């Protein structure tokens, strides 16, 4: 799957949802980070390079999203932009990496550590995020709700 930056706005029916759920893998890494608006195009190019490698060579689905609203939808909820202290001059990005299972994730991790292209790509991404911030990362395993 190539690099994507999109928002889904199409109506969903049961068959669409079933197809999406069946395609979602067992392990997901997520990264949330702030990008100065002036670095938008450079980060797009960098994420495309990274996505091309990890998708085509390592078999990992790679999706990138940009926060589209900073409003809280209802009482008792806070927007993620507020939670990570994003300013008006920053965009909030979410990057997702989907693996088939834990074994696949471990194999990809080893390949990435041994790939000489990854170090420079990582350093470029660190240089493009908002100064003084870090990537917020989480590793998630899919839960089976059909118990």
The answer to whether residue 16 is domain-embedded is no
Domain count along the chain: 1
User: Among 24-33, 43-52, 58-67, 94-103, which is the least confidently predicted range?
Assistant: 24-33
Q: How much is the average pLDDT of 46-61?
A: 94
Q: Is 1 a residue whose pLDDT tops 80?
A: no
Element containing residue 44 per DSSP (H, E): helix 40-56
State which residues form the domain around 89: 25-141
The answer to whether residue 9 is domain-embedded is no
The answer to whether residue 4 is domain-embedded is no
Give the phi and the psi of residue 15 in degrees, each rounded to 5. -70, -35
The answer to whether residue 39 is domain-embedded is yes
More confident position, 23 or 133: 133
The answer to whether residue 120 is domain-embedded is yes
Read off the pLDDT of residues 76-104 as tens digits, 9 standing for 90 and up: 898 899 999 999 999 999 999 999 889 99
The answer to whether residue 38 is domain-embedded is yes
Q: What is the DSSP string of 54-118?
A: HHHTT--EEEEEE----S-SSTT---HHHHTT--TTEEEEEEEEEESSHHHHHHHHHHHHT-TTH
The answer to whether residue 6 is domain-embedded is no
Element containing residue 49 per DSSP (H, E): helix 40-56
Closest listed residue to residue 129, CA positions, set 98, 99, 84: 84
Q: How much is the average pLDDT of 63-72?
A: 91
Two tokens, residue 49: 């390079």
């Amino acid at each position: 799957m190539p690099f994507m930056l999109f928002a889904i706005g199409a109506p969903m029916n049961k068959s669409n949802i079933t197809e999406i759920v069946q395609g979602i893998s067992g392990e997901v890494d997520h990264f949330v980070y702030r990008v100065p608006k002036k670095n938008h195009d450079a980060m797009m190019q960098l994420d495309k390079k990274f996505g091309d490698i990890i998708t085509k060579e390592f078999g990992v689905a790679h999706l990138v999203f940009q926060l589209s609203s900073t409003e809280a939808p209802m009482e008792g909820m806070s927007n993620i932009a507020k939670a990570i202290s994003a300013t008006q001059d920053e965009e909030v990005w979410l990057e997702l990496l989907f693996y088939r299972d834990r074994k696949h994730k471990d194999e990809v991790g080893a390949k990435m550590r041994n790939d000489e292209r990854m170090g420079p790509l990582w350093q470029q991404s660190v240089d493009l995020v908002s100064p003084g911030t870090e990537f917020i990362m989480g590793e998630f395993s899919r839960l089976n709700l059909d118990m």
